[in-house]
Structure 1
Amino acid sequence: MSYQPSAALLDKYADVLINFALNSGEGVKPGEVVQLRVPEVAKPLLVALRDAVLKAGAHPLIFFTPDDISRGFFELASEEQLSFFAEKFYRGTVDQIDHTVAILAETDKQELTGIPSKKIMAFQKAMKPYMDWRRTKENAGNYTWTLAMYGTQAMADEVGMSLEEYWQEIIQACYLDEDKPAEKWAALYTELYAYKDKLDALPIEKLHVEAENTDIWVQIGENRKWLGGSGRNIPSFELFISPDWRGTDGNIQFTEPLYRYGSLIEGAYLEFKDGCVTKATATKGEDLLREMVAVENADKIGEFSLTDRRFSRITKFMGETLFDENVGGQWGNTHLAVGSAYRDSFTGDPATVSEEQWAEMGYNNSVVHTDIVATSNRTVTAHLKDGTTQVIYRDGQFTI
């Protein structure tokens, strides 16, 4: 018989997501509306999430998506259908909701293999207004979200684990093996934020990342702060920042496979000059990688991140970016996101900043945000505004 997570475990999982992760670590409030976006295969977790929302006195708004229907859509959809945007529906949804919980769960990790990448990106581009509306509401302090994962047999098979082994990684990574996992998350964030505060205190002008087949410079820019935790992803062990995209130069070799848009990219390699990707190659899925960075502003970075191996409870490749961008292992990880920046990296009130001002500060804006991960041993050196340098990360951990 296939492994099934117990109802008690899923209740604990739902408690973390509803009563901790949302509202930036404070949990939902009575009367709020929580959008639950859950695939069919993860129905047991949907039930637990709904119950947690109701017990908190909030209102669940359920979006339950059937399994295995994406390929048929992309095979049949015309250009007009791919670019259709249900403006009234999505505008009303954004106006109505206070929070979103989205669950990753797949029954076919490579469902869209062979589908022309142009079709996938056309559909992605059409959804940009929805993403922009949510971001504006989030910047105003009126919306939060969290992302989590429900393990399936297909996900476990893809990375060579049994379903029970796969779930054990989820359980460990999310502190679900603890009596009160939310308290463990709060304690972790306290430790992480001690390093975040040290990074924020350094007047960093640029970061220099050196590793095998990697030599890249990332300009931080003015009015930036490091981010981490806050409940946006469960699990999350990283510290990250949205830099000034214009100051990215050099090359980076990514080591971890990337599952994106129902396809697999392996051996991704990017070169940057004056902030833009000038070369994109991969040992597998190169066409999709190139099509992805060809989307408007997806050839620029929106995020730079470091994960300290001492904090992460993730040690295995899981085939899902949510986990893989937080892997610890021997050397921790570095990941870049090409595409949209996180505007809450701004030190002021993001709700008061115009689109022109965001552009002037070098915050990238794109419909795409794709994290690509490197776990090779690296040294990260901060070049400070006074002309001095300081190594901030080496051998998989922060040195500050």
Structure 2
Amino acid sequence: MKKFEEQINKYAQVIAKVGLNVQEGETVVISSDIRALELVRAVTAECYELGAKQVITDLSDTDLTKLHINHQSTDTLEEILPYVQAKQDYYLNEKASMLYIHSTSPEALKDADTEKLMAANRAGRQAAAALSASRMRYDQNWCIIGYPSPEWAALVFPDLPQEEAEEKLMDYILKTVRVDQEDPVAAWDAHSKFLKSRAKWLSDYNFDRLKYTAPGTDLEIGLIDGARFTGGGHKNRKGLDIRVNMPTEEVFTSPDYRRVNGTVSNTLPLSYNGQIVDRFKLTFKNGVVTDFEAEQGYDVLRELLESDEGACRLGEAALVPVDSPISNSGILYYNTLFDENASCHIAIGKAYPGPVPGANEMTDEEQDAIGLNHSLIHVDFMIGSKDLDIDGITRDGEIVPVFRQGNWVE
């Protein structure tokens, strides 16, 4: 987008310096659809400016993906080819900094065969399982960001001409990541400080559980004794600050997956691998989804919950006020990276060990014993609204208001 050339270069600087915090001698991997090539080039240049040893561009194309899904058999799609596994293993062993650019339409694969699409996704998750675990321990840097494609922009702004829709979406994305401000790095530092203060307030209570109440939602989520809330960024294995999501407005923790009970309804659509799931409800009993319903994307949700044993259990609980920049914009992005930062959300699947002191050094069995969930998936969905109340219940039984009408209790 020629109009945004200067802002894109500024965006690339924020990604490399604030998101990945690229250091001299590092390997950087950029995974992106070809629709974001302009940003890929700008980030590549910035990473080399910061001293990166090599920048690997791992490009894909949604149109080619659709052709593969349509014409390959399920057996072929489930096969993990040696070069694919070798590539993931190289990224892991190199401790590469991983950048993921979301640019494709959330409906890009809506017409794909669900069974075949899930088979391909399973193979991809299995090949990247060790790399994913390394990222979630922050043993290597990673960051997820967005860039508008024509198809995505048309979904968000269907009444605008294509070029105008792309420019409008780009403008909103740049604001969410503070590139519109004079000093984006300073703006990110101030924002991180605020989120960290909220995380400390919650952590100091060491709540036993959180209780969520809203229309269609009556849910209790048990918390691990001693677990912390985190937000505003993370420390990597070298002790350097990184921001794994840009934008981010959340404060989150990893719950005790065994102590989740009640029902929860989504409040914004879930976009999962090119298909949308909406107007759905999950029922939990002793930490496991025992029943579910969905008006849109029922088969996608079913396949997701059946991905593996941990896919029907919780791995994250995140708090985001409705009075936040993304929410106040009134824009529905149909993209979890953005929509989750407009709404409280929870995630089914793998838990981040980081919020539990010492968990990064535990074995899988030790993590499971304290209630940290394991799965090949980690999928956030939005449950926040102006009608949501959240109470923290201490280990002494005290009820502490945390959210009222969708916002932090002051």
The interval holding the TM-score normalised by the smaller chain is over 0.9
**Whole-angstrom distance in 2 between the partners of 1:249 and 1:335:** 16
The answer to whether residue 367 in structure 2 is matched with residue 358 in structure 1 is yes
Corresponding residue number in structure 1 for 2:403: 393
CA distance in 1, matches of 2:136, 2:267: 33
Query: Paired residues, what number?
Result: 387
Compute the TM-score of the two structures, normalised by the length of structure 1. 0.92
Long gaps (5+) in structure 1: 328-332
Give the partner amino acid of 2:374: N
TM-score under structure 2 length normalisation: 0.90
Between 370-379 and 196-205, the greater mean CA deviation after superposition: 370-379
RMSD: 1.8
1:116 corresponds to which letter in structure 2? D
Specify the alignment match of 1:330 in structure 2.
Answer: none
Q: Which residue of 1 aligns with 2:319?
A: 306
* C-alpha distance after superposition, 1:50-109 (max 9, x if no partner): 110110011211112234111111122223322222332321232124211110111x44
Deviations 1:14-43 (A, max 9, x none): 111111111xxxx11110111011211111
Please report how far the alpha carbon of residue 382 of structure 1 lies from its aligned counterpart in structure 2 after TM superposition. Answer: 0.8
Corresponding position of 1:236? 248
- Structure 2: which amino acid aligns with 1:63? D
The residue number in structure 1 matching 2:266 is 254
C-alpha contact 1:172 1:313 (8 A) present in aligned 2 = no
The residue identity in structure 1 corresponding to 2:409 is T
Contact 1:208 1:217 in 2 (8 A): yes
CA deviation profile, 1:313-368 (whole Å, cap 9, x unmatched): 442111111000001xxxxx221111111121222250x21011011111111111
| Shift, 1:117, TM fit | 2.3
Contact 2:136 2:352 in 1 (8 A): no
String of CA shifts for 1:232-259, please: whole Å, max 9, x gaps: 1000011111101111110111121122
CA shift in 2, pair 1:17/1:397, >3 Å? same
Structure 1 counterpart SS, 2:154: helix
Q: How does 1:1-400 map to 2 (within 5 A)?
A: 4-22=2-20, 27-58=21-52, 59-85=54-80, 86=82, 87-106=85-104, 108-138=105-135, 141-160=138-157, 162-230=165-233, 231-296=243-308, 297-314=310-327, 315=329, 316-327=331-342, 333-348=343-358, 350=360, 352-376=361-385, 377-399=387-409
Question: What are the Cα deviations for residues 366-396 of structure 1, in whole angstroms up to 9, with x where unaligned?
Answer: 1111111123221101111011111111122
User: Aligned AA for 1:304?
Assistant: A
One-letter amino acid of the structure 2 residue matched with residue 303 of structure 1: E
Cα distance in 2, alignment partners of residues 136 and 253 from structure 1: 29
Counterpart contact for 1:281–1:290, Cα < 8 Å: no
SS of 1:267's partner is strand
The SS at the match of 2:175 is helix
Worse overlay, 373-382 or 200-209: 373-382
For residues 117-175 of structure 1, give each alpha carbon's deviation from its aligned partner in whole angstroms, at most 9, with x where no partner exists. 22222222223344432244346653010000001221121122522221221121111
Distance 1:136 1:156, change over 3 A: closer
